[in-house]
Amino acid sequence: MSLNLKNHTATIKNLAQTLGFDYCGIAPAQVLNEDARRLEFWLSKGFHGGMKYMENYFDLRVDPTKLVPGAKSVITLLLNYFPSQHQQEDSPKISKYAFGKDYHEVIKEKLNGLIQLIKSTIGEIHGRGFVDSAPVLERTWAQKSGLGWIGKNGNLINKKSGSYFFIATLIVDLKLDYDDPFVKDYCGTCTKCIDACPTNAILDEKIIDGSKCISYFTIELKDALIPDDMKNKFDNWMFGCDVCQDVCPWNRFSSPTNEIEFTPIPEVLNFSANDWEELTEESFKKIFQNSPLKRAKFNGIKRNLKFIGRI
């Protein structure tokens, strides 16, 4: 292995740490043939529900060179979002990832910064950063980069720190020193996430029926009404759902995030059901202008609250 390869890899990992990322792993850019078959099966079963965008750009999802011509390396970065504070007891529940500022904005800025730093320290490279907004199978790349295994709930689990992480991907045309893939599955015979899922969305063999997931209904579904057969199954979740992560034994190793941008919005922690009921659209737009909650829009939030019987 050339000294350049080792130096460039060490430089990138150090830069990632400087920018606040908790973990950085690197895998060779290659076609994901096994994932292509798995994704094809998942789509054929209609597990994506109304998320029709999942059917688009199939070839881009499984081949990084289609996203970055000449791609040689896929850099995966994890950013912890586990909060140190909790919502009030009996408040309508919000997924922990949405407590603070929208992660897309936070991570995009870090990724752009990382690309610029790589260019200024290593030299001219071509690359693109992605965070949950492009056809990238980020959990597979995280596993191939040695950062953890994919649990029965479909989440990436890191042995030292659990699963409360955002995953970002940086595809570059630079050859690097690659990490060994994470090959062991430490879920074993545990079925806590499967047993606890309120809507039975977690199937065997790490297959998630996205069309049954509470996060799908409360965030992705744009219909005016949530299907009646889901009534009384939401366990008070109004935006997203953390049940499968909350019950996961590996999350006993979760520690609070150091990212200041993920500091919880006071209203997320303190709003009562009555506060949510009295919230106007104008106030919603002002309070949650930089929050992931804006994705569901004001009408979606009100629909969700009504469905779980909180307004």
- Percent of the chain, pLDDT > 70? 90
What value does the mean pLDDT take over residues 102-113? 96
pTM: 0.93
Total residue length of the chain: 311
pLDDT band at 136 (very low <50, low <70, confident <90, very high): confident
Annotated active-site residue in 132, 180, 185, 223 = 132
Contacts of 133 (CB under 8 A, 6+ apart): 104
CB 236 within 8 A of CB 308: yes
pLDDT at 129 > cutoff 70: yes
pLDDT at 40 > cutoff 80: no
CB 24 within 8 A of CB 110: no
CB 138 within 8 A of CB 27: no
Show me where the domains of the chain are located. 1-311
In the residue annotation, 209 being an active-site residue is answered as no
